[in-house]
Amino acid sequence: MSAGIRIKNLTFSYEKDKPVLNNISLDINSGEKLGIIGPTGSGKSTLLLHLNGILNSGQGSVEIGGIKIVKKNLPEIRRMVGLVFQNPDDQLFNPTVEEDVAFGPLNFGFSREEVEQRVRDALVSMNLEGFEKLVSHHLSLGERKRVALATVLAISPRVIAFDEPFSSLDPEIVMQLINIINNLDATLVIVSQSFLPLLSCCDRIAVLKKGEIMAAGPKKEIIQNKELMKASGMDLSFYRNIYRDYFM
Amino acid sequence: MVFSFIFIMVSEPPGYIEPFLFYGIVISLFLYFSRIPLRFILGRCLIVAPFIFMASLFYPLSSIIGSDFQGFGSYTQEYRIALSIFLKGMFAVILLTLLVSTERFHNLLLGLRKLKMPALLGTISALMYRYIFILTDEALKTSRARDSRTPGKLSMNRLKVYGNQSGMIFLRSMDRSQMIYNSMLSRGFNGEFTGLQEMAMNKKEVVFSVLVILILLAVRITGMSIFSFMSN
């Protein structure tokens, strides 16, 4: 079951008078798959951290499934929104894969039997059967990425936010990950600089630049708007030329 | 069992060194069966030995300084006390080294939690353990980056580089620690680690532990008279 997201006039800054997010408003429908693109430093990851209440600016609001993110709602929000971090090593801190996947469900107070069931299900869905007792930091990057996603799936979140899920992965693993993402039953928000995989996963794309949403719309419409892409520092003609030179 | 052993050993009255012969034999047996290289244990002991030695000297020194000096030969009891303090310290270090070398840190935390260690201490220990790897990871990365651009050894007049590297390791570790903490918060972390596995002892382990503790207790309670008789 998925949940919609409503972001209204969100402004956030790490340093005074230097807003990283500037008056952002965005609606994401329940079950929708939204890709967020933008140059480095445009505030994409900062926006993701707001979806789970890790950052809370107090200026503007974020609602998940109609529930406003405020301090007293945080346990419920974190149960609803799963974050998959860019670097799986930031997400995996327990001694074994099993313990890492169980971390979230145990925190949310599920019974031991249910936690074990959830761990099993999450690992099976990521093709990680037999990995239970392995040490996370001994796995390959692709495997660690899958374990990181399993740690989130074990909570059965209604919204999953990915931060650069395709970075540093070889094409085969990217393809596996796209298949996994496309089969997830949740509202997805995917921040990525990897356009091609992102296009395979998303219904809609939002362009973020200097903390502001420049445009949001159907992926084809956005990606074919050359002026918009150029203005947002995301000129794709470079990829088009490579494609033309090598594949046509 | 290890903590009971240490507790029993440390509770020996000051100056009684004879029971330590027995404790030494038991520890030697543990060492033998653990198959941990003696060199490794001795290496760890050597690090702390000077501190324990200094601590054990305090008592006889304070007695000598606080009284009229009657020659070094007339302070036998003080020397015995110093030796007993030294042995207690060293044996405790050996036992703890054995414990952490034969058991995974995660299991130790589970065990300590079972022994009612405060949750906050457990959390701090677990985080510290995790962050040590981050520190070493960052140290390794920055060292590789430095070495890749350093032909041979770094010259002595460029030692400042090590200072810069240390600062950078610290800053990067802080950032990564923050990311890990964020990831924990995002999965509902509320300040207490809840483990999936419960620490459970099987029958053999329980019987062995109880037996060893009982023997140690017996030596501790009755041993004084036996060893006093022996020393007379």
Tell me the per-residue pLDDT of B165-222, one tens digit each, with 9 for 90 and over. Answer: 888 888 888 888 888 888 888 888 877 766 666 667 788 888 888 888 888 888 888 7
pLDDT of residue B114: 77
Provide the sign of the torsion angle of the four alpha carbons B94, B95, B99, B100, taken in this order. Answer: negative
Alpha-carbon distance of A207 to A230, in angstroms, equals 11
CA distance A82 to chain B (A): 7
Kindly list the domain boundaries of chain A, sorted by start residue.
Answer: 5-247
Is A107 in contact with B190 (Cβ distance < 8 A)? yes
pLDDT of residue A66: 93
Instruction: Quickly count: other Cβ atoms within 10 Å of residue B8's Cβ.
Output: 18
The answer to whether A164 contacts chain B (CB < 8 Å) is: no
Residues of B in contact with A89 (CB under 8 A): 137, 176
Alpha-carbon distance of A177 to B50, in angstroms, equals 56
Q: Chain B neighbours among A 91-120 (CB < 8 Å)?
A: 91, 93-96, 98-99, 102-104, 106-108, 112, 115-116, 119
Nearest residue of chain B to residue A86 (CA atoms)? B179
For chain B of 232 residues, list the mean pLDDT of each consecutive stretch of 10.
86 82 88 86 86 85 74 75 89 89 79 77 77 80 75 69 82 83 86 68 84 86 63 54
Alpha-carbon distance of B38 to B123, in angstroms, equals 32
Instruction: Quickly count: other Cβ atoms within 10 Å of residue B45's Cβ.
Output: 16
Higher local confidence (pLDDT), B154 or A136: A136
Nearest residue of chain A to residue B131 (CA atoms)? A93
Residue by residue, DSSP assigns A128-162 as -TT-TTS-GGGS-HHHHHHHHHHHHHTT--SEEEE
ipTM of the complex: 0.72
Is A83 in contact with B183 (Cβ distance < 8 A)? yes
In chain A, % of residues over pLDDT 70: 100
Nearest CB among B105, B176, B187 relative to A151 is that of B187
pLDDT tens-place string over residues B148-158: 776 666 666 67
Is A93 in contact with B130 (Cβ distance < 8 A)? yes
Residues linked to residue A204 through DSSP beta bridges, in sequence order: A34, A218
Mean pLDDT of chain A: 90
The span from the first CA to the last CA of chain A, in angstroms, equals 42
* Sequence-ordered list of residues with C-beta below 8 angstroms from that of B158, at least 6 positions apart, any chain: none
Lookup: tokens for A235: 């000129």
Edge-to-edge strands of the sheet including A67-68?
A: A18-28, A5-15, A59-64, A67-68
Residues of A in contact with B190 (CB under 8 A): 75, 107
**Residue A25 DSSP one-character state:** E
Residues B131, B170 contacting (CB under 8 angstroms): no
Residues of A in contact with B188 (CB under 8 A): 75, 78-79, 104, 107-108, 155
**Nearest Cα to A34, choosing from A190, A211, A196?**
A190
pLDDT of residue A69: 92
Among A68-77, A135-144, A170-179, A218-227, the range scoring the smallest mean pLDDT is: A135-144
Q: What is the phi/psi pair of residue A159, to 5°?
A: -130, 135
Alpha-carbon distance of A174 to A179, in angstroms, equals 9
Is A103 in contact with B176 (Cβ distance < 8 A)? no
Nearest CB among A95, A107, A112 relative to B106 is that of A95
Edge-to-edge strands of the sheet including A187-191?
A: A81-84, A159-163, A187-191, A33-37, A204-209, A212-218
Residues of B in contact with A91 (CB under 8 A): 180, 183
Residues B3, B115 contacting (CB under 8 angstroms): yes
Of the pLDDT bands very low, low, confident and very high (cuts 50, 70, 90), residue A186 is very high
Residues of B in contact with A82 (CB under 8 A): 186-187
In chain A, % of residues over pLDDT 90: 55
pLDDT tens-place string over residues A55-79: 887 789 999 999 999 988 888 999 9
- Look at residue A54 and tell me whether its pLDDT is greater than 80: yes
Is A90 in contact with B183 (Cβ distance < 8 A)? yes
Name the residue type at position B42: L
Kindly list the domain boundaries of chain B, sorted by start residue.
Answer: 2-102+222-231, 117-186
Is B196 in contact with A49 (Cβ distance < 8 A)? no
CATH of domain A5-247: 3.40.50.300
pLDDT tens-place string over residues A41-52: 899 999 999 999
Is A119 in contact with B176 (Cβ distance < 8 A)? no
Across A215-237, average pLDDT: 87
The CA-based dihedral angle spanning residues A114, A117, A123, A127, taken in that order and rounded to the nearest 10 degrees: -150
Residues B142, B169 contacting (CB under 8 angstroms): yes
Residues of A in contact with B182 (CB under 8 A): 49, 54, 83, 85, 90
Mutate to test the interface with A, among B137, B174, B187, B198 (most CBs of A within 10 A): B187
The answer for A191, left when phi > 0, alpha when psi is -120 to 50, beta otherwise, is beta
Across A137-160, average pLDDT: 90
Residues of A in contact with B105 (CB under 8 A): 95
Higher local confidence (pLDDT), B150 or A214: A214
pLDDT of residue A157: 93
Residues of A in contact with B194 (CB under 8 A): 106-107
pLDDT of residue A148: 92
Tokens 């200097």 sit on residue: A210
pLDDT of residue A214: 92
pLDDT of residue A231: 83
Residues A149, A181 contacting (CB under 8 angstroms): no
CA atoms within 13 A on the CB side of B123: 11
Residues of B in contact with A103 (CB under 8 A): 184, 187, 189
**Nearest Cα to A82, choosing from A192, A171, A156?**
A156
Is A99 in contact with B190 (Cβ distance < 8 A)? no
Residues of A in contact with B179 (CB under 8 A): 85, 87, 90
The answer to whether A144 contacts chain B (CB < 8 Å) is: no
Across A99-108, average pLDDT: 88
**Nearest Cα to A40, choosing from A193, A168, A161?**
A193
Is B195 in contact with A99 (Cβ distance < 8 A)? yes
